[in-house]
Amino acid sequence: MTSQTARDLFVTGLRNAHAMERQAEELMERQSERTSDYPEVQVRLRQHLEETRNQIARLDQCLEACGETASTLKDATLSFMGNLAAMGHAVAGDEILKNTFANNAFEHYEIATYKSLIALAKECGIDDGLLRQSLREEEAMAEWIDSHVEDVTLAYLSREVAETA
Ligand SMILES: [Fe+2]
């Protein structure tokens, strides 16, 4: 593998990650507005929204270090899709459950993305400190969601029971 190939893959990976995080940002903006019935979830979503904005800034830094910029056109297309996904879930009564499952999957997608970028950064001889920082945040968020699936489900159940009583 030539180092140029590794560098090209790294830059493409950074751009894709940038679009992914923009989509995550939009999804969490919408979800954090709509989770007032689940305060613990809302607090954690707002915290991760801030982390996500920092992650976008880190990806911008990585792209700049490679002499590149993020593709705003591609970001715009993806964030539109992100909005559609959030709207789809918003119509359903069990929005909180579907969003929890979707967020769980999304965080694991992000974890894989950062692991891939870190491997490429190593091949390119580029410092991966910023990417590792983002990876740790994604792992913490994935763990938090994973450990709250039961609580969220039971909280949703008791709201439904109270509504039909
Ligand atoms: Fe994330």
Q: Which amino acid is present at 86?
A: A
Q: How far is residue 21's CA from residue 25's CA, in Å, rounded to a whole number? A: 6
Distance 165 CA to ligand 1 centre (A): 37
pLDDT tens across 35-54, in order?
A: 999 999 999 999 999 999 99
pLDDT tens across 57-103, in order?
A: 999 999 999 998 876 666 666 665 565 566 555 556 789 999 999 99
- Answer whether 15's CB lies under 8 Å from 70's CB: yes
Distance 24 CA to ligand 1 centre (A): 7
Distance 164 CA to ligand 1 centre (A): 35
pLDDT tens across 99-123, in order?
A: 999 999 999 999 999 999 999 999 9
Cβ neighbours of 19 (radius 10 Å): 22
Global pTM reads: 0.89
